[in-house]
Structure 1
Amino acid sequence: MTHLDLLVHPVRSRIIGALAGRTLTTRDLARALPDVPVPTLYRQVRILDEAGVIVRTGEKKVRGGMERSYTLAEGGGTIDGDMPFSADQRVGMLANFCNVAVHAYRTYTESGGQEMAWAQMRSLYLTEAEAETLRQSLRDLFAPYQSNGPGDDRKRRIVAVMDQPDFEPTPEEEP
């Protein structure tokens, strides 16, 4: 299994998203992903653990079994954007990204959450250099908040930003 296949998977990618920036037990993961059957969840956690994408941070005995805690390994959920990907792989990565965000919001609303998701889409004309400057500006904007932990009236939020080229049809030449 390639690293891309490992990460771009409907359940494994949601586990990675749930563990980003925090430690959860397998029971916590089951509550965070209520639509995933428990045996499937445990199998996918094991695959991610064996691949080094997530790391076990603790273990305690609970009702005759062992309950493990996991967190995302350093760089564990990262896909190297410089690698060559086919059109299908690129579309699959984007669809997977959107799937993770939608499932997370669905779980939030189905658990009684009332806050609306905020989303905006803008079309910008940018050179490659300007697009990279924009991406770096966004990384810089998020940086001061990355180390915030729970507490102080904070709640975990998913902030998803996407940058993609848009299709520009060219005028057809008349015969």
Structure 2
Amino acid sequence: MATSSADLLLHPLRLRIVQSFLGERQLTTADLRRQLTDVPPATLYRQIAALVDGGVLEVTAERKVRGTVERTYRLRAEHASVTPDELAGMSADEHRAAFMAFVAGLLADFDRYLAAGGGDLLRDIAGYRQAGFYATDEELTEIVAAINRAVRPWIDAEPAAGRRRRILTTVLLPATPATET
């Protein structure tokens, strides 16, 4: 069985909820219901509670709305990833299951994009591609740091007129010997 953080974060619906908060967003359950219209409310409430209990989401505000309490949540980014120690302790099957959950979430995101009228990747400045390159471990560390520096200003940017929320997904894998030739 995978570690509790991996189980918590790599569940397909909880992963979608976490993604909804990317970009320093603060959202209520009502906001999430408007974004995740295919999720039954009771299921959404259960998954939010699991993320709060796990320390991934925290309540930033509460207000009374028609006799109930509406909570506003934010992502605790420092708790929204699997630690290096947890990753190191995962078996190959646990990594496979975690990656499958990640890819399933990515496929579902793309399907929702298409269902919402997407599909013109040029118009939407969207895409998916793969590139192969050769680098030492030290060079790869430099590449990853450069990518992080390049996108950090936009990750930290606030919503503004003309800005559309976007999700950047990365997967970095070493090529297997069969694919290197």
Q: Same fold (TM over 0.5)?
A: yes
Is 2:134 the partner of 1:125?
A: yes
Is 2:49 the partner of 1:46?
A: yes
Matched residue, 2:14: 12
Is 2:95 the partner of 1:93?
A: no
Matched residue, 1:141: 150
Q: How much is the aligned-residue C-alpha RMSD, in angstroms?
A: 2.1
TM-score, normalisation: structure 2: 0.83
Q: How many corresponding residue pairs?
A: 170
Instruction: Give the secondary-structure state (helix, strand or coil) at the position aligned to 2:96.
Output: helix
Distance 2:73 2:120 in 1: 28
Instruction: Say which structure, 1 or 2, has more relative contact order (CA 8 Å, 6+ apart).
Output: 2
Letter in 1 for 2:18: I
Is 2:153 the partner of 1:151?
A: no
Instruction: Give the secondary-structure state (helix, strand or coil) at the position aligned to 1:105.
Output: helix
Instruction: Give the secondary-structure state (helix, strand or coil) at the position aligned to 1:75.
Output: helix
Contact 2:59 2:73 in 1 (8 A): yes
- By percentage of residues, which structure has more helix? 2
Distance 1:24 1:34 in 2: 15
> How big is each residue's C-alpha offset from its partner over 1:128-153, in whole Å with a ceiling of 9 and x where there is no partner?
22222211111111112122111131
TM-score, normalisation: structure 1: 0.85
Any gaps of 5 or more consecutive residues in structure 2?
A: none
Distance 1:3 1:69 in 2: 23
Matched residue, 1:106: 111
Instruction: Give the secondary-structure state (helix, strand or coil) at the position aligned to 1:61.
Output: strand
Contact 2:58 2:76 in 1 (8 A): yes
Contact 2:58 2:73 in 1 (8 A): yes
